[in-house]
Chains A and B, each alone.
Chain A
Amino acid sequence: MNRFSKIVFSAVFATVLAAPAVMADPAIVYSVGGKFDGSFNESAYSGVKRFEEATDKTVREFTLERDAQSLQALRNFASRGNTPVVAIGFNQANALGQAAPEFPETDFAIIDMVVDKPNVRSYVFKEQEGAYIAGLLAAMASKSGTIGFVGGMDIPIIQRFLCGYKLGALSVNPDIEILSNMTGDTPAAFADPVRGGEIATSQIKRGADVIIQAAGGTGLGVLQAAADAGILGIGTDSNQNGLHPGKVLTSIRKRVDNAVYDSFQSAQNGSFEPGIQVLGLADGGMDWVLDANNKMLVTEDMKTAADAAVSRISDGTIKVHDVITEGACPV
């Protein structure tokens, strides 16, 4: 491109470029799953909404269509003065590792992965702890002695969840049978409720009477099939108790919304600090939901056992195996 056409282009597009005049607004880059995936990204979005309502600021948003765009999107936001720039999902870790050193004045945050840079705050969750509570409640609620697990795509993070679920269930009933299936091997496995329903139905036919979903959009089909068959489902990521009142035993929440809100809010107050935030049961980063929709399902015994497990995991008496750092699941 020669100098002349460069000048012409810049003249023509000056108006376009001048448009984003409001600076220092926070920005967020959603992962490929999409803003309204009904679980992970949507939880981040609810943090965004909460921040916008509380502060009258607008959050600039971008949804990746493919992972290769991540670096571009992060740099675009940072170069326009947006701060903090929050990256949702571990797939963006590499891109953020490159972008962060280029913009030392900008605050960055990432969810679900650690990026060790002086201007990055990393939020990671101990999914296995939440899953442990789910397994414990499922085993106690099961009458048949068989419980089920429907995962989305077969990736390490889902296997970690599965391992926690198994450990939790075995902790109250060493003889329990745990059926587990993954929906598929592509990201489409997180957006296939019909197949989720079919897998759940097959597990029900094999005797499962409590089934947890760890499958994003696919999980909606799992909960539907469980409710239709008159057995119990367990929701994940956001509160799904209300989807089928009386048919969802509980929901294991991963508070991505809190992490997003926290990063925006702390940047707003000037208290943004880099480093690693590991969120688990102890600090409310993971929790299980007891509300009007499921209180008739959770007996006093179950509540006591779950609360006891939460406090023992929080103080470190119980350590839930993490397949990502500690290798294959022991059970």
Chain B
Amino acid sequence: MSAGQLPRWVDLGLIPFLNLAAAFLVSGLVVVLIGENPLEAVKILVWGSLGYGEGIGFTLFYATNFIFTGLAVAVAFQAGLFNIGGEGQAYVGGLGVAFACLALDHYVPWYVTLPFAILGSALMGAAWAFIPAWLQATRGSHVVITTIMFNFIAASFMGYLLINVMKKPGSMQSETRTFEDGGRLPFLNDIFPSFGFGYAPVNLSFFVALAACVLVWLLIWRTKLGYEIRAFGQNATAAVYAGMPPVRIIVVTMLISGGLAGMMAINEIMGSQHRLLSDFVTGYGFVGIAVALMGRAHPVGIVFAAILFGMLYQGGAELSFEMPSITRDMIIVIQALVILFAGALEHMFRPTIVRLFTPSRALETKEA
């Protein structure tokens, strides 16, 4: 029952659509249970996320975060590694962005700062993934365990730095000083006023994220390293037998993965918050896992999945605003159902679909 049995549009279009529809159907039942009109709820959710410029802006802003963390998980996934440390890698990546911005913002415009911020965030994120990668490659310590433990270490490490070293004096919040203009990416609303993104924090890093998608695609499907990563992910033993060095593949893949997760901080820190503050990641690293699963670890799929989750984040906020009885916890339930149906139960509809499509395909083959 492999994917090859189905036409591409069914595999990549119809099945995800059915999974989503099922998720929304069950969510609708939950909405009915708490006594609200589910159609109204869907309307608000869609309108809130796509119905007006500012809503779209917020959706894209959240999507930018998810693209980075989704790509991070996807790259590791291609090598058969499950990097669930995106949360910590993104958090430490913020440090790289903050170093660049705090050092340069007084002296140069943002477009000079940006390359350093990208480099800094990727380096810090990669550094945070290095030890788990090394342990996995040489000692067999499973990355699932080590990366999640590194999330906690990241929280403690960053908390220490923000409270004791980098904190702006006199502030109640653990945060650095606010960056000057040289440390702020322009908002898309200022670049394209006609779109009417309003006050949405979507910024130039959206394009950095799209560029990262292209680069990841090139890396995975068009380079020797990418071939090694995929070969290692499909069958590690065969890859080693073919002469590919496992230690190098694991470490390099995890460094790329960590670097991508770290780059999420560009959007949050340099693009929106304009200061390094504690807990700015708030779960984007974990949702990246769902995004990567739903996007089939392919950059195109990840962009769509990231926008879908961006819609859920933005539309969900709008929904709990318009319908006070739908609390933020309800929104999390709806998001969880989408993850459940799209990720965990991905194969639920597949057998039926395959049965539906097999006769006609068999016929085609005969005629041919």
Measuring CB to CB, which residues of chain A are less than 8 angstroms from any residue of chain B? 1, 6, 9, 12-13, 16, 19, 60-69, 71-73, 75-76, 90-91, 93-94, 98, 112-113, 153-157, 159, 184-187, 324-325, 327
Contacts and interface: CB of A to CB of B under 8 A. Distances in A.
B331 A155 contact: no
B317 interface: yes
A65 B328 contact: yes
B361 to A, nearest CB: 37
Given A62-B320, A69-B317, A75-B199, A13 B58 contact: no
30 contacts: A9-B47, A9-B51, A13-B43, A13-B44, A60-B324, A61-B324, A63-B327, A64-B328, A65-B320, A66-B282, A66-B283, A68-B201, A68-B272, A69-B317, A72-B58, A72-B199, A76-B321, A90-B172, A90-B173, A93-B173, A94-B273, A155-B163, A155-B174, A156-B174, A184-B155, A185-B158, A185-B159, A186-B159, A186-B279, A325-B170
A157 B173 CA distance: 8
A16 B172 contact: no
A168 to B, nearest CB: 21
B316 to A, nearest CB: 8
Decide if the interface of chain B is mainly helix, strand, loop or mixed: helix
A90 B170 CA distance: 13
Given A62-B321, A68-B272, A16 B331 contact: no
B124 to A, nearest CB: 18
A234 B272 CA distance: 40
Nearest to A188: B155
B331 A112 contact: no
Contacts of A66: 282-283
A192 B250 CA distance: 36
Q: Which 7 A-B pairs have the closest CB atoms?
A: A185-B159, A65-B328, A185-B156, A90-B172, A185-B155, A66-B282, A186-B155
Contacts of B324: 60-62
B301 interface: no
Given A66-B282, A154-B163, A19 B51 contact: no
Given A13-B43, A90-B173, A324-B171, A72 B317 contact: yes
Contacts of B321: 62, 73, 76
Contact of A16 (B44, B152, B173): B44
A124 to B, nearest CB: 8
Chain B, interface residues (CB within 8 Å), range? 35 or more
Decide if the interface of chain A is mainly helix, strand, loop or mixed: helix
A19 B323 CA distance: 10
B76 interface: no
B58 to A, nearest CB: 7
Contacts of A156: 163, 167, 171-174
B151 to A, nearest CB: 9
Contacts of A186: 155, 159, 279
Contacts of B127: none
B170 A13 contact: no
Interface in B264-282: 272-273, 278-279, 282
A71 B198 CA distance: 12
A157 B51 CA distance: 40
B28 interface: no
Interface in B302-327: 316-317, 320-322, 324, 327
B40 interface: yes
Contacts of A13: 43-44, 47, 51
Contacts of A327: 169
Interface of B: 40, 43-44, 47, 51-53, 56, 58, 61, 152, 155-156, 158-160, 163, 167, 169-174, 199, 201, 272-273, 278-279, 282-283, 316-317, 320-322, 324, 327-328, 331-332
A153 B160 CA distance: 11
Contacts of B44: 13, 16
Nearest to A160: B172
B70 to A, nearest CB: 18
A68 to B, nearest CB: 7
A174 B222 CA distance: 71
B167 A16 contact: no
Contacts of B160: 185
Contacts of A9: 47, 51-52
Contacts of A112: 172
Nearest to B58: A72
Most chain B C-beta atoms within 10 Å of own C-beta, residue among A6, A61, A75, A154:
A154
A240 to B, nearest CB: 24
Contacts of B156: 185
A63 B163 contact: no
Nearest to B195: A1
Nearest to A64: B328
A184 to B, nearest CB: 8
B278 A155 contact: yes
Contact of B173 (A72, A73, A91): A91
B47 A65 contact: no
B188 to A, nearest CB: 14
Contacts of A12: 43, 47
Contacts of A63: 320, 327-328
B172 A187 contact: no
Contacts of B167: 156
Nearest to B200: A72
Given A72-B199, A72-B317, A93-B173, 15 more contacts: A1-B52, A12-B43, A12-B47, A16-B43, A16-B44, A19-B322, A62-B320, A71-B199, A72-B58, A90-B173, A98-B199, A112-B172, A156-B167, A156-B174, A185-B156
Nearest to B283: A66
Contacts of A73: 317, 321
Nearest to A159: B163
B271 to A, nearest CB: 11
Contacts of B316: 65
Most chain B C-beta atoms within 10 Å of own C-beta, residue among A6, A68, A73:
A68
A29 to B, nearest CB: 10
Contacts of B170: 324-325
Nearest to B169: A327
B326 to A, nearest CB: 11
A19 B52 CA distance: 18
Most chain A C-beta atoms within 10 Å of own C-beta, residue among B171, B172, B272:
B172
A126 B172 CA distance: 12
